[in-house]
A and B are shown apart, each in its own frame.
Chain A
Amino acid sequence: MTFEIFTFSFMHRAIISGIAIAILCSIVGLFLVLRRYSLFGDAIAHSSFGGIALGLMSGIYPLWTAYGVSIVSALIMTRIKDRFNISGDASIAVLLSSGIAVGLVIIGLSGGFTLDIFSFLFGSILLVSVNDTILILSLTGVILIVILLLYRQILYSTFNEEQAKVSGIPVEKINYLIVFMAGLTVVTSIQLVGVLLISALFVIPNVTAIMYGRGFKQTAIISISFSIFSVVAGILVSYLFDITPAGTIVLIAIGIFGCTIGIKSAGLLSQHH
């Protein structure tokens, strides 16, 4: 009975897409967390809400409008932040609230909430189509290749912007690239956990992994492992007990974080020797 779920093709698509999204959110999220930009994923997700509403109203596939609106608004906000010296947390608040506000107005104009809006707000991983799975896998592949090619530049500008500049790294271009990749990742991941919980996948596996890992690559691998475990276990548990996958995935990730805090408090994880 239990193993029967592995025979369903929707479950294959959900697990394959979920693993790809887990890898993507972990690696992009690690750079955001280390840049003290943990809530940036949340802000992009909220701005994508405006894009989804726009798509539903105009009849365009909502994920396409979400990609457009969230990436453009994140890049514009980054430009305004740099140009007018606005702090990171304030720019996140502006981006976050403006996306929700635009979404609410558009939804109001188009006659109120629909079932489609709820599936974007809370995720619908069990409903991903073959085309969605191909899109998720392709974007994951492209983003990972870009990160591997520019690994040193991205890591160095995350570690210390000034020193990276002195080494001849085009730090501003790298920053915009990270924002662009974060935008792609967030919208791609909305199908897994929805707009409201997306930042959990960016942040929780990474803050947990930072407590275990010594070097950067080791930390990234640990984060990806925790993330994949949370996503796969979350999908399976939620199906078996007929509960929401998004909430279950995030609660499992929080459980791993809580255990890590417990282990660290007991003094078993105090030094990275």
Chain B
Amino acid sequence: MLKVVEIEHLTIQYPDVKAIDDVSFTINQDDFLGIIGPNGAGKSTLFAAMLGLNTKYKGTIKFFGTDIRKSKSYLKEIGYVPQKPIFEKNFPATVNDVVKMGLQKESDENKIDEILQQLWIHELSERRIGELSSGQQQRVFIAKALVNSPKVLILDEPVTGIDQQSIDLFYSILKELNSKQNITIIWSSHDLDAVNKLANHVACLNRTLFFHGESDDFFKNDDLVKQYSEASMQKHMHNH
């Protein structure tokens, strides 16, 4: 099995707190990995390091066998969907414009139509991005992430603030991308039920890694499930 990501002894120290403490794990091709943990557990910090946005860390992160500090070429193989994309609400960009921004070769423009149809947003292609609902916007950002046919899709709590109907559609799209297009998915979420339904691997992160393995093994362990569902909920409610 091809190793897509290898993280070894990753430690990220902020001035007042250790955000990630000696975390090591491997993600293989075709994995659908759900990363769970309460708010402040270090999920977004981990993603920022994996995406090369934060280079101040100890340890090693390898994508496709290459240390990401030595080459940024791995980014061409990655699609990234942030928690809530920040952009100027009045930005004059249509759905088509936004998806096209993600396109690395102009010659692949035909792919845009194909992906917009796949994500059921083809009719919105000439609408301004700021006019769409959160759920529609998130599908546009997935389309942008997919337009270069990435081998890996990284999603940071992508359904925050989205209606249930859009969430269900979003999850079915993710499942299909992993099972039919063999895209490795790395997805952080608070929703244990969704992780149970979709992911084939689970990582429990709370600054350090408490569990990493097949999702069946995680969900068979009642203590672990209870601990993570309570920890997530308490922290989640506390933050709201």
Interface residues of A (CB under 8 A from B): 34, 36, 152, 155-156, 159-160, 162-168, 209-210, 213-219, 271-273
Contact = CB atoms under 8 A, between A and B. Distances in A.
Among B53, B88, B126, B144, residue most surrounded by chain A Cβ atoms (within 10 Å): B88
10 contacts: A155-B101, A159-B93, A160-B87, A163-B80, A163-B85, A166-B80, A214-B126, A216-B92, A216-B94, A216-B97
Question: How extensive is the interface on chain B, given as a class?
Answer: 20 to 34
Contacts of B78: 166
A160 B51 contact: no
Given A162-B82, A166-B53, A272-B127, A152 B100 contact: yes
B103 interface: yes
Contacts of A166: 51-53, 75, 78, 80
A273 B88 contact: no
Contacts of B91: 34, 159
Given A160-B87, A166-B78, A168-B76, 17 more contacts: A152-B100, A155-B97, A159-B93, A162-B86, A165-B51, A166-B51, A166-B80, A168-B72, A168-B75, A210-B90, A213-B92, A214-B92, A215-B93, A215-B94, A215-B97, A218-B92, A273-B127
A215 B131 CA distance: 12
B138 interface: no
A155 B86 CA distance: 15
Contacts of A165: 51-53
B127 A160 contact: no
B96 interface: yes
B98 interface: yes
Contacts of A216: 92-94, 97
Contacts of A271: 131
A91 B127 CA distance: 35
Pairs of residues from A and B, 9 with the lowest C-beta to C-beta distance, nearest first: A219-B92, A215-B94, A156-B101, A168-B75, A272-B128, A166-B80, A213-B92, A166-B51, A215-B97
B104 interface: yes
B106 to A, nearest CB: 8
B102 interface: yes
A214 B102 CA distance: 19
A54 to B, nearest CB: 37
Contacts of B82: 162-163
Interface string B94-125: 10111011111000000000000000000000
A209 B101 CA distance: 21
A257 to B, nearest CB: 15
A210 B128 CA distance: 11
Interface in B17-57: 51-53
A176 B80 CA distance: 25
Nearest to B95: A215
A34 B103 CA distance: 21
Contacts of A167: 75, 101-102, 104
Interface in B203-234: none
Nearest to B90: A210
Contacts of A218: 92
A215 B52 CA distance: 30
A48 B92 CA distance: 31
A217 B76 CA distance: 26
A239 B23 CA distance: 72
Nearest to B128: A272
B226 to A, nearest CB: 35
A227 to B, nearest CB: 16
Contacts of B76: 168
B131 A162 contact: no
